[in-house]
Amino acid sequence: MPKYTETDLILNKDGSVYHLNLLPKHISDTVIAVGDPSRVYMISQLFDEVEFEMNKREFITHVGRYNEKKITVISTGIGTDNIEIFFTELDALVNIDLKTREPKAKRKKLKVIRIGTSGALQEDIAVGSHLVSDYAVGFDNLMNFYDLPMDDFEKGLAHDIQKKIGLPFMPYVARGSESLRKQLAFDMQVGNTVTCPGFYAPQGRELRVPIRFPKLLEDLNYYHKGDFWLTNFEMETAAYYAMGRLLGHEVLSVNAIIANRMKNKFSKDHTKVVESLIEKVIDRI
């Protein structure tokens, strides 16, 4: 078995992983991930008790119990680069012996649930609604550095989206966990999410700098292949699904729709939309 070097697997003086600053004992079988660090507190205030807290950069972690079940909540900050760090170190905590620096003989599969915000790409998706991501389409370049296996349907989508949107690169496509969707999101609207590498130009917003794809919103709104339509976009889901597939974990992304870009509407109280989604998910874990 390979032995990971001190520069490949960086550990802190207390033996915790470098960025998350966590030890294996802090990771529960179910991990909730949020982008905004303040949402960690929104979730942990619902716990029966909080057993552990760690603050490291944007990675805030609370470990506690809800209805007698241990849950770990971690914030990632914004973007797919942070998801790679989060997922790689999370997996190392459960599947690598940090003392010997070797992979464990028995691999552990985690349930990872992203609770985040998103903007709708279709007029019929209401602001204030909850949407679960079936497939995610990555417009970022993270998977250029990995060999992500995609099935024929996903490969066909990736090529078709590149061609019809006119992208100078091929996106990647990955699907979320069907079992988690049935458990946690059975009554939510099902959609297909575009993950963007930025908030402004990559999502069709133009302020003082002209953007390269001025028709991006329109193109994403109209794009479909058979019954497959793009419903919303944000900045992390595709990386969650891709890293989950590569590392062998069950992953699901659920979205609080706080904006409808086609109608130019933004939620008047997006915090309530997020809170209701948190309560719905945590009760079903």
Percent share of the chain, pLDDT over 70: 100
User: Residue 179 — φ and ψ, nearest 5°?
Assistant: -65, -40
Taking all residues of the chain, what is their mean pLDDT, rounded to a whole number? 97
The predicted pLDDT at position 44 comes to 98
pLDDT-derived band at 142, boundaries 50, 70, 90: very high
Average pLDDT over residues 43-65: 97
Question: 169: which residues sit within 8 A by CB, 6+ positions away?
Answer: 141, 162
Residue 1, pLDDT > 80, answer: no
The predicted pLDDT at position 2 comes to 81
Please write the tens of the pLDDT for every residue from 148-157. 999 999 999 9
Question: Is residue 64 a contact partner of residue 222, using CB atoms and an 8 Å limit?
Answer: no
Question: 6: which residues sit within 8 A by CB, 6+ positions away?
Answer: none
Residue 219, pLDDT > 80, answer: yes
Please write the tens of the pLDDT for every residue from 71-130. 999 999 999 999 999 999 999 999 999 999 999 999 999 999 999 999 999 999 999 999
Question: 40: which residues sit within 8 A by CB, 6+ positions away?
Answer: 34, 60, 61, 62, 73, 74, 75
| pTM value surpassing 0.85 | yes
Please write the tens of the pLDDT for every residue from 226-276. 999 999 999 999 999 999 999 999 999 999 999 999 999 999 999 999 999
Please write the tens of the pLDDT for every residue from 198-212. 999 999 999 999 999
Tokens of 17: 């992983």
The predicted pLDDT at position 79 comes to 97
The burial class, CB within 10 Å (0-12 / 13-18 / 19+), for 82 is buried
pLDDT-derived band at 283, boundaries 50, 70, 90: very high
The predicted pLDDT at position 144 comes to 97
Average pLDDT over residues 151-166: 97
